[in-house]
Amino acid sequence: MLNGKQKDIELDPARVPRHVAIIMDGNGRWAKKRMLPRIAGHKQGMDNVRTITRAASDLGVKVLTLYAFSTENWKRPEGEVSYLMSLPVTFFNKFVPELIEQNVKVMIMGDTSMLPASTQKACADAVADTANNTGMVLNFALNYGGRDELVRAAQKLVQRANDGDLQAADVQASDIDAALMTAPLGELADPDLLIRTSGEERISNFLLWQIAYSELVFTDRLWPDFSPDDLKAAFADFAGRDRRFGGIKK
């Protein structure tokens, strides 16, 4: 668990995680501490997406995957859900020019067909407007759930079997990789580092298959307060880890 103020951290560029996934938790508590409505926390959280996107891109991250709305978040009060649904519209309207300037490519992962039409359009436009960018991929998980993703992958594999394209005994891990929503990320599909803010130490149905060998960093910082220095501190922690992927130290 990372805590406290981190300053003047030197990072070895060779040990910066290539794919970073973040569970952006604590917006509600951030607002409550200030006697503000929960949506004020989400607004601040959205502004912090801009800050952390820029910081991650500047530090050399290749893919930043952000858990923006889970398949379980529909259980929240209607007003909060509709506010969360409006955030991609606001965010992309405001920041796509900046993302283009930073050469960031937007990707969306999740069942977007259930999102309001305006949210779907904002997402599709952002993806199209940044499609030719070659820098960091900013991958939003929207109406995403790890189990939902695995169910859909199983359906695809069964379909392939029904079509005579795949035999049960021949199913490989790579077939599952190819059927997941992260498939477009290719060799970068699995996060090197997963960060969760706000002190909770759970995975909450995020990237269940892909985090098999991810390093996990939990921090007390609430998402709207999570700063570029906190990101660097998480990277420094990551850089000190000994990743063996089930093998032994070389």
Residue 26 within binding range of ligand FPP, rule CB under 6 A: yes
Interface segment toward ligand FPP; rule CB under 6 A; list 24-32, 99-107, 126-134, 173-181: 24-32
Give the C-alpha separation, 239 to 177, whole Å.
26
Binding track, positions 220-239, relative to ligand FPP; x by CB under 6 A? ---x----------------
Contacts of 210 (CB under 8 A, 6+ apart): 21, 180, 182, 189, 190, 191
Give the C-alpha separation, 97 to 195, whole Å.
27
As measured in angstroms, the least distance from the Cβ of 158 to ligand FPP is 32
Residue 28 within binding range of ligand FPP, rule CB under 6 A: yes
Query: Site residues for ligand FPP, window 41-100 (CB under 6 A)?
Result: 42, 45-46, 49, 68, 73, 84, 87-88, 91
Beta strands in 148-238 (DSSP E): 193-196, 215-218
As measured in angstroms, the least distance from the Cβ of 180 to ligand FPP is 21
Give the C-alpha separation, 149 to 208, whole Å.
9
Contacts of 124 (CB under 8 A, 6+ apart): none
Interface segment toward ligand FPP; rule CB under 6 A; list 25-33, 57-65, 184-192, 233-241: 25-33
To the query of whether residue 73 is one of the catalytic residues in this protein, the response is yes
Catalytic residue among 47, 73, 111, 129: 73
- In the complex with ligand FPP, the residue whose CB is nearer, 73 or 205, is 73
The per-type count for the chain, helices as H runs and strands as E runs, is 7, 6
150 CB neighbour count, 10 Å cutoff: 15
Taking CB under 6 A as the criterion, the residue among 83, 140, 144, 206 binding ligand FPP is 140
Cβ contact 124:96 at 8 Å: no
Residues lying near ligand FPP in the complex (CB under 6 A) = 24-29, 42, 45-46, 49, 68, 73, 84, 87-88, 91, 140, 198, 223
Instruction: List, by residue number, the catalytic residues.
Output: 25, 73
